[in-house]
């Protein structure tokens, strides 16, 4: 069963268009939403949450978001960019306010989450580190019974240890049946936890597939000349110190490509195709 199913999602601004996007995340999966700055990651998450108006269909555990918005929002824990809780309020006070919006709020779950994440309910928001703020957001989401987490760059600005703790937390949540879709620029976090990748480029979906399949599909070739790179049908060829390099699809030639290298060369190829089309 799909925890999240998105079909023909589209949002148009004056200078940017998202979509039409169609992708899905299976129940219990951890999916990474990737793409360069401005690719549309935050717009996608906000559109899914109906925080901004957009076209298309979103289903959560088979329920249509537009038709059953209140029910669906009770199934989702959303952590957007930034942290906007009142800084001088205690964690307990914020939780009490938060609980009024969710009929299935469970105070015992909140207490267990605080214990597990070493959160003191008497602490004030302003006293929390960035890593602890993320954990507090997760505690709030889990306490109202969220089965799907949508997280917008949750590890941005975190130190390596805090990022590792976040990854450990996400993996433990998957064991509890929680599904996660999170955007990030930090590919090492994805390699640590992600089952699949949803890759956006300038509002367009470039990939929606298991992480292992994406990594196996490409290898990185090094060529002495552009002509040889083109003869090998390399993707996103660019000059490097040793000659020219590009991705080779479905081949045993070259070496394994990292996720960063795959992103770089796919973006390079897309830019080249765009420049040719609009010359």
Q: What is the mean pLDDT of residues 165-171?
A: 90
Q: What is the mean pLDDT of residues 73-85?
A: 80
Percentage of the chain surpassing pLDDT 70?
Answer: 96
107 and 240 in a single domain? The answer is no
C-alpha span between 176 and 241 (Å, rounded): 48
194 and 234 in a single domain? The answer is no
C-alpha span between 221 and 247 (Å, rounded): 6
| Number of other residues whose CB lies within 10 A of the CB of residue 70 | 8
103 and 123 in a single domain? The answer is yes
Percentage of the chain surpassing pLDDT 90?
Answer: 76
Average pLDDT, the chain: 92
Ordered strands of the 243-249 beta sheet:
235-240, 243-249, 218-223, 255-256
What pLDDT is stored for residue 270 in this prediction? 87
Residue 228 lies in a domain: yes
171 and 269 in a single domain? The answer is no
194 and 92 in a single domain? The answer is yes
100 and 176 in a single domain? The answer is yes
Where is pLDDT greater, at 102 or 10?
A: 10
Residue 208 lies in a domain: no
Looking at 144, 176, 202, which one is the last position of a domain? 202
Looking at 202, 234, 266, which one is the last position of a domain? 202
Q: Is the pLDDT of residue 82 over 70?
A: no
Residue 16 lies in a domain: yes
274: confidence class by pLDDT, cuts 50, 70, 90: low
What pLDDT is stored for residue 156 in this prediction? 82
**pLDDT tens, residue by residue, 215-255:** 999 999 999 999 999 999 999 999 999 999 999 999 988 99
Residue 89 lies in a domain: yes
**pLDDT tens, residue by residue, 86-96:** 889 999 999 99
172 and 236 in a single domain? The answer is no
Domain extent, residue 245, equals 213-277
What pLDDT is stored for residue 133 in this prediction? 87
1: confidence class by pLDDT, cuts 50, 70, 90: confident
194 and 249 in a single domain? The answer is no
Looking at 202, 233, 260, which one is the last position of a domain? 202
The bridge status of strand 196-201 relative to strand 204-210 is: antiparallel
| Number of other residues whose CB lies within 10 A of the CB of residue 185 | 16
Residue 113 lies in a domain: yes
Q: What is the mean pLDDT of residues 161-174?
A: 90
163 and 59 in a single domain? The answer is yes
Q: What is the CATH number of the domain that holds 79?
A: 3.40.50.300
130 and 191 in a single domain? The answer is yes
Residue 207 lies in a domain: no
* Alpha carbon separation from 109 to 75, 100, 104, 149 (Å, rounded): 15, 15, 11, 16
Work out how many domains the chain is built from and give that number: 2
**pLDDT tens, residue by residue, 126-149:** 999 888 888 898 899 889 989 999
**pLDDT tens, residue by residue, 174-222:** 998 999 999 999 999 999 999 999 999 999 999 999 999 999 999 999 9
């Amino acid at each position: 069963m799909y925890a999240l199913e998105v079909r023909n999602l589209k949002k148009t601004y004056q200078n940017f268009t998202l979509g039409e996007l169609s992708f899905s995340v299976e129940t219990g999966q951890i999916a990474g939403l990737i793409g360069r700055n401005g690719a549309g990651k935050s717009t996608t998450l906000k559109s899914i949450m109906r925080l901004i108006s957009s076209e298309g269909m979103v289903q959560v555990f088979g329920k249509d978001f537009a038709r059953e918005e209140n029910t669906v929002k009770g199934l989702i824990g959303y952590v957007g960019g930034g942290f906007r809780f009142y800084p001088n309020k205690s964690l307990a006070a914020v939780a009490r306010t938060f609980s009024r919006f969710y009929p299935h709020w469970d105070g015992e779950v909140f207490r267990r989450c605080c214990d597990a994440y070493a959160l003191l309910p008497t602490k004030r928001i302003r006293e929390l580190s960035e890593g602890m703020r993320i954990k507090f957001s997760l505690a709030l989401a889990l306490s109202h019974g969220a089965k799907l987490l949508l997280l917008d760059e949750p590890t941005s600005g975190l130190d390596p240890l805090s990022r590792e703790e976040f990854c450990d937390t996400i993996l433990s949540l998957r064991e509890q049946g929680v599904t996660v879709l999170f955007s990030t620029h930090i590919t090492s976090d994805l390699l640590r936890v992600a089952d699949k990748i949803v890759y956006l480029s300038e509002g367009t979906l470039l990939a929606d597939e298991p992480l292992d399949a994406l990594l196996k599909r490409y290898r990185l070739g090094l060529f002495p000349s552009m002509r040889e790179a083109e003869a090998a049908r390399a993707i996103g060829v660019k000059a490097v110190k040793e000659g020219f390099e590009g991705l080779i699809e479905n081949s045993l030639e070259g070496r394994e490509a990292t996720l960063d290298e795959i992103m770089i060369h796919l973006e390079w190829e897309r830019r080249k195709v765009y420049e040719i089309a609009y010359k």
